[in-house]
Structures are given as C-alpha cells and as structure tokens.
Amino acid sequence: MKKRNLRNLILLCVSAFLIALCAFSPALCVTLDHYGFIWDCEYGMRNVNNLIPEGTGWHISTPRAINDNGQIAGWGYLNGTERHFLLTPKNNGRYDVTALPQNWGDDNLNNRGEIAGCIHNRDEYRAALRTQQGKVVDLGSLGMGNVFAMGLNDKTQVVGGGYYETPTPSFPPHLLNTYAFIWDEANGMRQIPTPGATHPVAYDINDKGQIVWADKPHAFFIDTDGTNVDIGSFGGSYINPEDINNYAQVAGWGLDTEQRSHPFIWTEEEGLVELGQAGVDYSIQAFAQAINDQGQIVGRYDDEKGNYAFIWDEAKGIQSLGWLGGSTTGPGAFSQAIGINNYGQVVGFSNVPEPTTLLLLGSGLAGLAVVRRKFRKK
C-alpha cells in the first residue's frame, strides 16, 4: 500500500473515531449549568444570555414565563448568587434585566407585567405580588405556615397553596396537609372550597376566574359558578394541572400505574386526552407545562436519545424544539420548555455542548473534509 494511501486511511479512521466518540459519549457533553432560551418560528432557539447587556454579572439559567409583551420572568445567577429576574424587551431585539428582591421565589407573570411568587423570611415563605411599579405586596398566609403563589391572571387574581404545618419546604406542596387559596385586592386571601380534599393546591386561574387545582391523585376544574369537575387521572399516584387558558383548556401531566408521566390536554367537552405523538416518540415519558389561548402546549419529552423541549398543537402533534447544541438531537442533550405566550414565543432552558466536545467533533469533521478533498483531486 502506498504511503499516501496509508496516511489517508489513518486520517479517515481517526476522524471517524472522533465523531463516534462525540456521538456515543454523553459524558463529554455535560455542561456546568443550564442556559435560558427563547424560541419562535422566525429565529428558532436562541440563548437569552446572548441577548442581554454584557458585563452585568447575570447568567440567565431558567426563564419560566413570557407574556404577550415579550417580558420574561425566571431565575438565574447574579455574580454567582441565585436571583430571580424580569427581562424587558428593547426595540433592538435585546433585553434589559431587572433583579427581583433577594428573598423572592417563583415567577408567575401576567400581561400587566405583574409577578406572583413568594418571599422568604427566615424559615417562612409567604405569597407575594410584585406590581408593575416594582412594589412587593405581601398577600398574607391565613395564619397557616408557608404559602406559595402558583397562578396569576390579567385581573390580578392570584391562586396557590399553603401548608398547615411548617416543615422544611418542598415545592410544590403536594405531600403535606395543604390548603388552596385565591387572592385579589378587594377581598384579600381566602380559602378555596375543596370538599373532602386533604392535599389541595390551586395551580392556575384564567381571566374568567376558572381555576384548576389538584388533590393527589386527582385534578379538578372549578367553573365560574363554583362547580367542581374531576379532570380524572392516568391511574397513577399524581396528576399536575399546570396551566389553564382563557378557553378553559387545561394542560398538564399525570402518572400512570407504572409511574410514567403522560402529557395531557383537558376540556369539559372531551375530557382528559393524552397529547398525540406525531413527530416524536416519547418512549420514556413527557411533561406538559403551559398552554396559550391558541391551544398550543409546550413542555418536555424524554426518549432514548435525550430530553427535549416540545411544542404541541392539534394539527401537528408534538414537535421537538431541539436544544442549544444546534441540532434536533445530540449526545447528552437536554432542553425543557416552560412558558409560551399568545404569539407562540416559548421560553425554557437547555444545556450546551462542552468546548471539548466541539473541539473533538470539529477535528473529526475537518479530517473528513481533508480526506474528501484528496480523493477529489485524484
């Protein structure tokens, strides 16, 4: 064999080995942290950290909600310390960053720019509302320990759950003796009637005042007349009605008898329906996190290749949004969609490939290109 052919063969083998190493060694793709993303049909998935001013000390880790004005709420790290934020879009497609109070937790954002969550004082969590002007309002606790706001509508009505006891908080509070509450400025905080429930937590409220709440292993819908409707379950120990839109469509996820998670949409007309799998096969499990007024749902599905953010609609079923690694799939890939607005903009978080992975993959591809060029010359 000629030396030139031998060198080409060796280069080809080394290049193929480097590419295979990247493809079949997920450990090479582990990243130090999550990176927040925004996704839309025009630009695809973008790293939010590339859209904020440089030198601010912020690492945007987990955007959780986006409103119709493009504002984004979530949490990340400010100079290495965990902190919640509000991003406000500017005319040039970038964002200004506002830090929320140091003791702030959770991020339920409405179209008025208000945020419902909780404030942490020593060993107590209390439901709170941040107004458009930046004022923090303590919503109270009904005298019953820790309280968390979990849903907020455009009429500034807040729903959530509280503990009867005060243990080390776990969130959401579905394993303890809890109560569901609703708050508005006129009436303050009051308990939501949940007959016979032992672990009730209110998850969301729409602009009509319709509420979804859960009491494991069932979820419920409260209509404007106060009627409670059992949403049902997948037969497992838990069901999460994460979000409700203004057309009384509910999105969430529930466990089956084997503790696998199934994403669903619920309507009073059709009941509990598992989301279709067109475009993907979530062979392990999937979670639905949010729904907009167009009936689009976002969340995460898990298969043998990785964990991927998805968007669902009735026509196309579940479609992968990919990840910040740049391709639809990849070794060690992880992404999750958490919020969606009525314009179809999606926010969530993703990992990215380690520089080592990119270097190995790039070297492998470069080697293949060299071999291909030499064969063309022949």
Query: How many angstroms separate the CA atoms of 370 and 99, rounded?
Result: 50
Contact by Cβ (8 Å): 140, 147: yes
Task: Quickly tell me which residue has 């064969």 as its tokens.
Answer: 375
Each residue's pLDDT tens digit, 36-57: 999 999 999 999 999 999 999 9
Tell me the C-alpha distance between 343 and 202, whole Å. Answer: 26
Joined tokens for residue 185:
């400025």
Higher pLDDT, 227 or 17: 227
> How much is the average pLDDT of 55-74?
97
pLDDT of residue 328: 59
Sheet holding 317-322, edge to edge: 285-291, 297-302, 307-313, 317-322
How many residues belong to the chain? Answer: 378
**Per the confidence metrics, is the pTM higher than 0.75?**
yes
Band of the pLDDT at 6, cuts 50, 70, 90? Answer: low
On average, the pLDDT of the chain sits at 84
Backbone phi and psi for residue 20, each to the nearest 5 degrees, phi listed first: -65, -35
- By the 10 Å C-beta count (0-12 exposed, 13-18 middle, 19+ buried), 142 is classed as middle
